[in-house]
Amino acid sequence: MREGIGSQAAARRGRVRVERGEKRVRAYLGGELVADTERPVLVWEKPYYPTYYFPLAGVRSELLVPDGGSAHSPSRGDGRTFTVRAGGRIAPGAALRIDDSPFDDLRGTVRLDWDAMDGWFEEDEQVYTHPRDPYTRVDILPSSRHVRIEVDGVTVADSTKPTLLFETGLPVRYYLPPTHVRMDLLTPTDGESHCPYKGRAQYWSLRLGDVVHADLAWSYPTPLPESQKIAGLIAFYAERVDVHVDGELQARPAS
């Protein structure tokens, strides 16, 4: 971290944490650059991942049109909203400029709504879903544990060669070789999701007789480089199935 707030304990107010980052961050709308900075401010508005705030000098102010809106946060301060016009696209209220804040580092910054923009980059790598949390760790480890997945009393996967994925704040995920999964019970769906640490996931529903368990399993066919160990493996939502590890039924996580 740079000298100052980012090199020490983060500034806090209530549950909100603020610190400076060092990654170059860019945001695009309609293919046109809206903001570009090497000094982003990371704000944990939510407990699990941060939001990027841009210094005013890093935002193309000519693309921001005042819309008369305002916002107040007891923790982050007061600001005005702007419509973003770029690349032939219009994103109403997608920019929030903080005019006054209890945090020195937030005064004069701009927050762009993540979903309103159509492209985000950290350095030269596109990032999906939300910014990466510098304090989140993902460990992917091969294992010899015996993992059996059961749905409605039917074994749908059984493996002694699982790959275990440990991600900060989330339950352990068991990724299994397709040859150890009852693929005849799975049907590909149009569902997909993106993870800033793993990449794009595709989904399967599981059918048992007349009962369909929608989007119960997923896989990352082409994960990001740091998550290559799970490429092509299949995981099931432990929240919705019975997972037996070395013969012991695991409690279903609440997540």
Average pLDDT value for residue range 218-243: 97
Q: Binning pLDDT at 50, 70 and 90, where does residue 254 land?
A: confident
pLDDT at 3 over 50: no
pTM for this model (two decimals): 0.82
Q: What is the pLDDT of residue 14?
A: 62
Share of the chain above pLDDT 90, in %: 89
- What are the tens digits of pLDDT across the range 179-219? 999 999 999 999 999 999 999 999 999 999 999 999 999 99
Strand partners, 155: 150
Share of the chain above pLDDT 70, in %: 95
Domains located in the chain, CATH noted: 5-126 (2.170.150.40), 138-249 (2.170.150.40)
Task: Calculate the alpha carbon distances from 178 to 16, 162, 193, 199, 215 in Å.
Answer: 42, 11, 20, 19, 16
- What are the tens digits of pLDDT across the range 59-111? 999 999 999 999 999 889 999 999 999 999 999 999 999 999 999 999 999 99
Q: What is the pLDDT of residue 38?
A: 96
pLDDT at 2 over 50: no
User: What does the angle CA 139 – CA 25 – CA 21 come to, to the nearest 5 degrees?
Assistant: 65
Residue 62, number of CB atoms within 10 A of its CB: 8
Burial profile 113-132: b = 16 or more Cβ within 10 angstroms, e = fewer: bbebbbbbbbeeeebbebbb
pLDDT at 12 over 90: no
pLDDT at 1 over 60: no
Q: Which of 211, 154, 220, 162 is nearest to 182 (CA)?
A: 154
H/E segment holding residue 231 = none
User: Residue 59, CB half-sphere, CA atoms under 13 Å: how many?
Assistant: 23
DSSP letter for each residue of the chain: --SSGGGSSPEEETTEEEEE--S-EEEEETTEEEEEESS-EEEESSSSS-EEEEEGGGB-GGGEEEEEEEEEETTTEEEEEEEEEETTEEEEEEEEEEEE-SSGGGTTEEEE-TTTSSEEEETTEE--SSPPPTT--EEEEE----EEEEETTEEEEEESS-EEEEETTS--EEEE-GGGB-GGGEEEEEEEEEETTTEEEEEEEEEETTEEEEEEEEEBSS--GGGGGGBT-EEE-TTTSEEEETTEEPPPP--
**CB neighbours of 148 closer than 8 A, spacing ≥ 6?**
155, 157, 158, 159, 243, 244
